[in-house]
Structure 1
Amino acid sequence: MARRLNRKDFLRLSGGTLAGGALASALAGTGTAHAATTTGSSGPGAGAGADAWRYAEQIARRVEAPRFAPRDFDITEFGATPDGTSPATEAIRAAISACHRSGGGRVVVPAGSFLTGAIHLRDNVNLHVSEGATLLFSTDPADYLPVVLTRFEGIEFMNYSPLIYANGCTNIAVTGTGTLDGQASTENWWAWGSRSSEGWTRLQQMARDGVPVEERVFGRGYYLRSSFIQTYRCTNVLIEGVTIHRSPMWEVHPVLSRNITIRDLHIDTHGPNNDGVDIECSRDVVVRGCVFDVGDDCVAIKSGREADGLRVNVPSEDILIEQCLMRLRYGAITIGSEMTGGARNIFVRDCRLDGPNLYFGLYIKTNSHRGGVAENVYLKNLEISNLTKEVISCNFYRGKGDTGPLTPRVRNVELRNVHVGQARNAFSMSGYPRSPIEDVRIVNCSFDDIRQPSTITDVDMTFHNFRVNGVRCSDPAQLL
């Protein structure tokens, strides 16, 4: 397996050469101040990304989807009825258990509608939702008890089970061309957002006080929603092909997991906090060929929140996102806001952002309460039709501003070959004087219809062959 590189490795290898398949010139020029901007396509800033993308290819090669034994376990043979009203939870559980005991294979959901509560995967099990099949998830919270180890906005605790859940599993999958329908609405899960303040305040205080996770028991009466699909401390994960509707909260949420393939999903759910994919404290993740039409961020990269993020202290790293269509709603690619453990080595390429109400292209959310380091972030070959806000948004004063004990760091961010048809602003970027946003490079990009000036404060930013509204831009001051 290829050795993973941290920032020190990148800096040490800066200016080197590739030898023996190792990445030796990943980030030439990273971390250094540019003496002057340039409008050409050469120079250390312009050249760094081209070499760093070789590391992205290593991620693509390293991440492999799990394989399963050629055995099928049809849930109807265990008593499930495809009428959409008879509970199939026990039949699905029995099929998963039989599949696991036999050494693995596929648990098959055939055509028809099946009502179920929580589904817990086990080692070597592929939950396969066939063409014409729909899993309808119960909206009765009791069907997601007993509580399990999970997270709510970056803090660990014991709560209602996610709709599909795995903890400590190896070789698991959810596949097929069928539909997963959470049945969430303003009459059930989505209404919990306005009732959760007491539980959320209590959980945050427990984290600050260092209460052991097993004693942070919630569930009934606290109205903290769970994710749709969550893998916790899992290895070798595949989520492929299915359509996801009406989730209670986040859709696909790998936590402390590794070697994850998420591909060819169609996520269409517009509820509150309905992110598409939330990668949290996980590494070696490929997101490919997905369509996001969601109520919040399309892909969000997270690593824990404040005191609990410091306690766990695991970054999200080595992530490749490619060939996706992003339509709604907030950030197409978001880092944070739960990013206390850090995020690094993030690559996004060959994606289309094509929705009338998408807010941001790249959205990095942190402040001195969240802290964390976001570094080595590369976006290239993106076609963006319209953004209602900024192409890049990164404001350290967001939320509580500079009133916390932590110092956020954002460094080595590059946009290359990005075309924007229309956006309100090019950039809204504000670092702290003690912690400026470092080494942001815009290379071979054109932003055609930018309506308002940018905000750029305490940012080290350089442009290389960059046009805004048809005019070559060589200095950030031109955008203010």
Structure 2
Amino acid sequence: MKNKTLFPILILSAFVFFFNSCKNKNPKTEVINNFDKADEIIEEIKELKFPNNVFNIIDFGAKGDGKTNNSTAIKKAIESCTQAGGGKVLIPNGQFLTGPIHLKSNVNLHLEEGAIVLFTTDKKAYLPVVHTSFEGTELMNYSPLIYAYKQKNIAVTGKGTFDGQANNTNWWPWVGKNTYGYEEGSLSQHDSINLPRLRMMNEKGIPVSERVFGDGYQLRPNFFEPFECENVLLQGVTFTNAPFWVIHPIKCNYVRVDSVIVNSHGPNNDGCDPEYSKNVHITNCTFNTGDDCIAIKSGRNNDGRSVNIVSENIVIENCHMIDGHGGVVIGSEISAGVKNVFVRNCKMDSPNLDRAIRIKTNTLRGGFVENLYVKNVQVGQIKEAFLRINTYYAIYANQEGDFIPSIKNIHLEDIQVENSGKYGILIKGREQSPVENVTLTNVTIKGAKTPLSIENSEPITFKNTFINGKQY
């Protein structure tokens, strides 16, 4: 009788043990493992709707002669549109010189085909300073060329061109490099009054309102920056000659960047840098840039940890990356963390494209990257590596701190690389925190001088993967 009573208990105990063993054996299986989540994110970003009102800037005194400053006319058109409950502010065919454009809720700034918006080279036009950001650190600085602050339901659409008129005599010399027009003895962003001062304010937690730059300083403005906005659409337009980062949605929710062309080879001319932002869809775009094509950010050092907004739920698809430091990059400013990034159906190809997929951080940045999925990407020629993960990233000296980064769940599938340059896969993790759970499935990499260079990483899981003709 006793044995009969004990038997079901033993069976139940064995079942519980088996269940827990299976559950705990590989917790990585709990991460997102397909692109269903990507489709859900895209569906969450709703199509924006605007009233049928149209406000042509010509009716407010604008002249498309490339010489008349149309700042007042464009501002009046936007104000009238807002007062009417929203609609379309129309910039017709022509060349329209202007200062910075500040968007308001329920306004669609629309460029007709043939419209060119030229942004003035008069730096005082970008004053007074506004709440903005420079390389992951918030500050009060020159206004971005197109700016929206705490607005909802905004759009920039059409088939026209925004020309920032940045070049080797305007904005670019401030980077401090001779190749961009810098002359020895001139002020640059690296002087003590500029970046070193801003970095100190970041580390000491100085309030943003007291981080005042702008006139008399050499920190370049972003091109298009919606700041703390919700429901943002950027569609169809072209950006060229940017002072700094081109498309920078910061602290935004529900952003779509569709069929945009970025053709700008200046210093730090990143194509699109979502920062502290979530539910972002970047699709059908072309990036030909002087820096990273797409770089996902979440704040630099103390700023990122204080703001503590993860950049998440970002889908990148059907894009073409040409020149740039990286095709799709996460970092280096990722102190608040990045998760759930999906890349699919993209093409990357240029002798001036350094890497295809890149993650970069260090122990000053810290942060984490979790759940990166890359599928069906065609890579032609690149310089350095198809995949590079670097937790020792440094441009400047003294990039070591106390914040150990974490990188895990990096999955690449159905990828063809014709010429990978120096490396196929280049991973440099930390002994204290190795890179975890990297998988390559149906990946073919050709032309890599060194197929694998891996430090402090769990073994990569290879499935039907070939590098230089050898199966791994």
TM-score, length basis structure 2: 0.90
SS in 2 for 1:385: strand
Amino acid at match of 2:465: F
- Which stretch shifts more, 443-452 or 113-122? 443-452
The within-5 A match list for 1:5-154 is 32=28, 51-154=33-136
Q: Tell me which residue corresponds to 1:3.
A: none
Q: CA deviation at 1:53?
A: 1.1
Rounded to whole Å, the distance in 2 between the matches of 1:318 and 1:96 is 31
Q: Tell me which residue corresponds to 2:356.
A: 361
Rounded to whole Å, the distance in 2 between the matches of 1:244 and 1:318 is 25
| Cα pair 2:451 2:467 within 8 Å, conserved | no
Structure 1 residues 28, 267: closer, same or farther in 2, change over 3 A? farther
- Pick one of 307, 312, 325 that aligns with 2:320: 325
Unmatched segments (≥5 aa) in structure 1: 1-15, 17-26, 33-43, 474-480
Rounded to whole Å, the distance in 2 between the matches of 1:404 and 1:65 is 43
Q: Tell me which residue corresponds to 1:165.
A: 147
Rounded to whole Å, the distance in 2 between the matches of 1:275 and 1:181 is 15
Which structure would you say has the larger Rg?
A: 2
Residue 254 (structure 2) pairs with residue 255 (structure 1): no
User: What is the RMSD of the two structures over their aligned residues, measured on CA atoms?
Assistant: 1.7
- Pick one of 145, 148, 156 that aligns with 1:174: 156
Amino acid at match of 2:102: H
Rounded to whole Å, the distance in 1 between the matches of 2:211 and 2:218 is 14
Rounded to whole Å, the distance in 2 between the matches of 1:243 and 1:285 is 19
Q: Tell me which residue corresponds to 1:407.
A: 404
Q: Tell me which residue corresponds to 1:292.
A: 287
Structure 1 residues 333, 401: closer, same or farther in 2, change over 3 A? farther
Amino acid at match of 1:283: K
| Cα pair 2:269 2:291 within 8 Å, conserved | yes
| Cα pair 2:137 2:202 within 8 Å, conserved | yes
Q: CA deviation at 1:402?
A: 7.3
Instruction: Count the aligned residue pairs.
Output: 434
Q: CA deviation at 1:140?
A: 1.2
Q: Tell me which residue corresponds to 1:12.
A: none
Rounded to whole Å, the distance in 1 between the matches of 2:57 and 2:467 is 57
| Cα pair 1:253 1:277 within 8 Å, conserved | yes
Q: Tell me which residue corresponds to 2:180.
A: none
| Cα pair 2:157 2:236 within 8 Å, conserved | yes
Q: CA deviation at 1:470?
A: 1.7
Rounded to whole Å, the distance in 2 between the matches of 1:30 and 1:226 is 46
Rounded to whole Å, the distance in 1 between the matches of 2:101 and 2:128 is 12
Rounded to whole Å, the distance in 1 between the matches of 2:413 and 2:45 is 24
Alpha-carbon deviations, 1:345-396, whole Å to 9, x = none? 0000000002121011111010101000101000000000011001111121
Q: CA deviation at 1:338?
A: 0.5
| Cα pair 1:31 1:411 within 8 Å, conserved | no
| Cα pair 2:451 2:468 within 8 Å, conserved | no
Alpha-carbon deviations, 1:218-257, whole Å to 9, x = none? 1012110111000000000000000111000111100000
Q: CA deviation at 1:312?
A: 0.6
Rounded to whole Å, the distance in 2 between the matches of 1:258 and 1:401 is 34
Residue 469 (structure 2) pairs with residue 470 (structure 1): yes
Alpha-carbon deviations, 1:21-54, whole Å to 9, x = none? xxxxxx999755xxxxxxxxxxx69xx77x4311
Amino acid at match of 1:405: D
- Which stretch shifts more, 194-203 or 344-353? 194-203
Alpha-carbon deviations, 1:281-331, whole Å to 9, x = none? 000000000001111001110000001111111111000000000001111
TM-score, length basis structure 1: 0.88
Rounded to whole Å, the distance in 2 between the matches of 1:136 and 1:30 is 56
Question: Between the two proteins, what is the percent identity of the paired residues?
Answer: 42
The within-5 A match list for 1:334-413 is 334-399=329-394, 403-413=400-410
Q: CA deviation at 1:334?
A: 0.5
| Cα pair 1:301 1:335 within 8 Å, conserved | yes
Amino acid at match of 1:411: K
Structure 1 residues 30, 319: closer, same or farther in 2, change over 3 A? farther
Q: Tell me which residue corresponds to 1:278.
A: 273
Rounded to whole Å, the distance in 2 between the matches of 1:30 and 1:369 is 31
Q: CA deviation at 1:132?
A: 0.7
Q: CA deviation at 1:401?
A: 7.7
Q: CA deviation at 1:201?
A: 0.6
Q: Tell me which residue corresponds to 2:210.
A: 215
Rounded to whole Å, the distance in 2 between the matches of 1:287 and 1:326 is 12
Q: CA deviation at 1:454?
A: 2.6
| Structure having greater relative contact order (Cα 8 Å, sep ≥ 6) | 1
Rounded to whole Å, the distance in 2 between the matches of 1:213 and 1:243 is 32
